[in-house]
Structure 1
Amino acid sequence: MSSDTVFPVVGPAEAETVLQQFADCCARFQLQSVAHQGFSGARIWKVVASDPRFLAPLCLKRWPDDHPPPARLPWIHQVLLQARERGISFVPQPYFTRGGQSSCEWNSATWELMTWLPGEVETAPQPSPQRITAAFRALAAFHQATADVHQSSGNANQPAPAIADRLARWRDLTGGGSEQIQQACQRRSIPALDDLAALWLARHAKLPVSLTSRLFDAAKLTLPLQPAIRDLWRDHVLFDGDNVAGFIDFGAMRIDTPLTDIARLLGSLAGDDPALRQIAIDTYSAANPLSAADRDVIDLLDHTGAILAGWNWLEWLYVDGRQFPSLPAVRERFTTLVGRTIGPPGVVISADA
């Protein structure tokens, strides 16, 4: 997403035109625009047939211009199809166009049509142990169902891209990037966020030395690689009671260590609650055993991910000047990051900063 991002205004007429490109779409339907569109700039509609006996609800999505890369989207859809073929019903099923493609290029944008998944996101700061258990049992099942996708191409054990990316970003920040962001925060004012930015900069002016050395060590590890969702956080997990009804939004999926999914979901759902974190790790490990080294990497990915996410938000907002559909949602997200990395006492991630 570029610094001059403008979220496009896409009307129902264009969505209806795109919908007709898909082979299994019925002739009569209703389009319901989804109010919560997330941070990426994607547009989403719920597609409801006039007679629901003939078609379950579908999800029509217009992806933003640069995410995910159009060439990667068919591969993402194949991973989802394989997961569903192996019994993973809580991921969406892609639909194909009349030309046999799982996505549609229309008006300089990439569109996809998939099954609509029911359920609700977790809104409580601390989910119940039952929901934590369900979420990590579902994640383990997804990883089991897709574990062999990368093995056919050989070299399944390699240094993890997630760790390499974090190390590169860490170097960028320690090499002058953080100073550039701090200067931008002084020049630009965003009243809804300035107080949080000041808190962040006061706490994280220097990145933790201990995490720097751990990143260097982790970058030398070779880990099993397979499809990793990479953006599985609480807003992308749907619950029906205490059961997982859906995982959504796979645009960031790529070949990586599955440990990055565990870390992302762990920090988002369990936060820094020791009991919930233990339940999450034990649940996942019961299906896919985790070694002590794996658990160290999960902890590292979680901690560095939270710190880098805060710096990324400041750069997007104060340096790049990006605009997001909902500034209150941005504040809520950044407030969570501030809370995780700054306080309250006893849960500070970067104690040596």
Structure 2
Amino acid sequence: MPNHFPAMMRVLAAFKIQTATIRNTAECEGGLSGAKAWKVETHQNSFCLKLMPPDFSVNRLLAIHQAAGQRRTNGMSYLAGYLSAASGETYVELDGGLWELQTWMDGQPPSVPYSAPQKKAMFRAIGEFHARHERPPAETAVSPGIARRIELCEKWRLKYEKHLFPSLHHYGDPQWKPMLEQCLDSFAHYHARLGALLLSCEHEMYVLEDCIADPRPENFRFDADQLTGLFDLGSMRWDNIALDVSRLAGEVSDDGEVDWDFAFQAVNSTRRLTPSEERLAKVLDAANVLLTGLNWVQWLVEEGISFANCNHVSMRLTHLLARLEKIEKHPAWKL
């Protein structure tokens, strides 16, 4: 385990944080991206210091910071802000690592089962993120998310038809093995229907703009049911708002099913969805249910990647299996 403390102190000094004012630093529980984060407490304020994953580019980081800065300027005050270093930039490069310093978001993450007011607030925040940006930037084009899912579906379809699915016979984790087997079995059963569904959206045009892309409930903060913070835009990409709606809807689904009327009504209170965007959200969600497990098969079985936070892996696979059990009833098949 590398000792990041000396580098942290140098980075904080570059962000104009005097080391004498620092009262405490504590590592935050990590996700699965490979980033590292620490809560830094000074005598006056608290911050989140983050070391980005390897190969994270400066241009990508600056695009994220610009997107957040615009929205905070336009009134989205609960979105995390990024501090400037002595260089004038909102990042510091040190020994090949890329660092940023965020304002600390007070409050607590929502806990399962999520309350209706908390879910409504998270969906409203998604809508506000897409309503608060400066216009343009935006463009009308095909959804990159659909194109990516078509490519992934085709890749695994060919593996299945050529009998090249990875063998789980010698895979060692007794908890995850049956979950991964179910992911492969579900794709084998539904890949033809999924491929046709995705192709039905292949040439449709949508408004594209900055998307959070991975708005997980653990990245929101609440005081009871009052939203106090939203942070971590590290997955931000260019797509339609339906990408964010589908991601969050899947994350907060109950008993494997999404309450689409609730989700759309909440988002519409801050950013009106078109009928084609609502349809796209359902299609993307159905694809996410069937394809996300294949990513886990690739990471855990084919590539042998080990994750430090095994509890996160177990929770995500368990949630995914609940969704797979209800996939036959998914409304996307009726579109």
- Shared fold (TM-score, shorter chain, > 0.5): yes
The 5-angstrom pairing of residues 213-228 of structure 1 reads: 213-228=196-211
Question: Quick check: 1:271–1:277 contact (8 Å CA) kept in 2?
Answer: no
Kindly tell me: are residues 108 and 180 of structure 1, through their superposed partners in 2, closer, same or farther at Cα, counting changes over 3 Å? farther
Aligned residues: 334
Q: What is the SS of the residue equivalent to 1:218?
A: coil
Q: What is the SS of the residue equivalent to 1:105?
A: strand
TM-score, normalised on structure 1?
Answer: 0.87
Q: What is the SS of the residue equivalent to 2:169?
A: helix
- How far off is 1:236 after superposition? 1.8
Q: Who is 2:30 aligned against?
A: 37
**Partner Cα distance (1:102, 1:181) in 2:** 46
Q: Who is 1:327 aligned against?
A: 310
Question: Quick check: 1:272–1:347 contact (8 Å CA) kept in 2?
Answer: no
Letter in 2 for 1:94: Y
Q: Who is 1:95 aligned against?
A: 83
Q: 1:84 aligns with which of 44, 67, 72?
A: 72
Kindly tell me: are residues 293 and 118 of structure 1, through their superposed partners in 2, closer, same or farther at Cα, counting changes over 3 Å? same
Q: Who is 2:58 aligned against?
A: 70
Q: Who is 2:143 aligned against?
A: 160
- How far off is 1:350 after superposition? 8.9
Letter in 2 for 1:108: G
Q: 1:20 aligns with which of 7, 13, 21?
A: 13
- How far off is 1:256 after superposition? 1.3
Q: Who is 1:129 aligned against?
A: 116
Question: Quick check: 1:341–1:350 contact (8 Å CA) kept in 2?
Answer: no
Gaps of 5+ in 2: none
Task: Kindly indicate whether residue 46 of structure 2 is the aligned counterpart of residue 57 of structure 1.
Answer: yes
Q: What is the SS of the residue equivalent to 1:92?
A: coil
Q: What is the SS of the residue equivalent to 1:20?
A: helix
Task: Kindly indicate whether residue 216 of structure 2 is the aligned counterpart of residue 233 of structure 1.
Answer: yes
Letter in 2 for 1:14: A
- How far off is 1:211 after superposition? 2.2
- How far off is 1:274 after superposition? 6.5
Kindly tell me: are residues 236 and 220 of structure 1, through their superposed partners in 2, closer, same or farther at Cα, counting changes over 3 Å? same
Q: 2:131 aligns with which of 144, 166, 184?
A: 144
Q: Who is 1:4 aligned against?
A: none
Q: What is the SS of the residue equivalent to 2:58?
A: coil
Letter in 2 for 1:113: L
Task: Kindly indicate whether residue 97 of structure 2 is the aligned counterpart of residue 109 of structure 1.
Answer: yes
Q: 2:285 aligns with which of 302, 313, 331?
A: 302
**Partner Cα distance (2:278, 2:17) in 1:** 44
Q: Who is 2:152 aligned against?
A: 169
Describe the superposition over 1:35-65 as per-residue Cα deviations: whole angstroms up to 9, x where unpaired. 411111211111111x22xxx2110000110
TM-score, normalised on structure 2?
Answer: 0.91
Q: What is the SS of the residue equivalent to 1:208?
A: helix
Question: Quick check: 1:84–1:91 contact (8 Å CA) kept in 2?
Answer: yes
Question: Quick check: 1:231–1:264 contact (8 Å CA) kept in 2?
Answer: yes
Identity %: 25
Question: Quick check: 2:80–2:102 contact (8 Å CA) kept in 1?
Answer: yes
Letter in 1 for 2:180: A
Q: Who is 1:3 aligned against?
A: none
Q: 1:248 aligns with which of 214, 217, 231?
A: 231
- How far off is 1:141 after superposition? 1.2
Letter in 1 for 2:49: L
**Partner Cα distance (2:106, 2:297) in 1:** 34
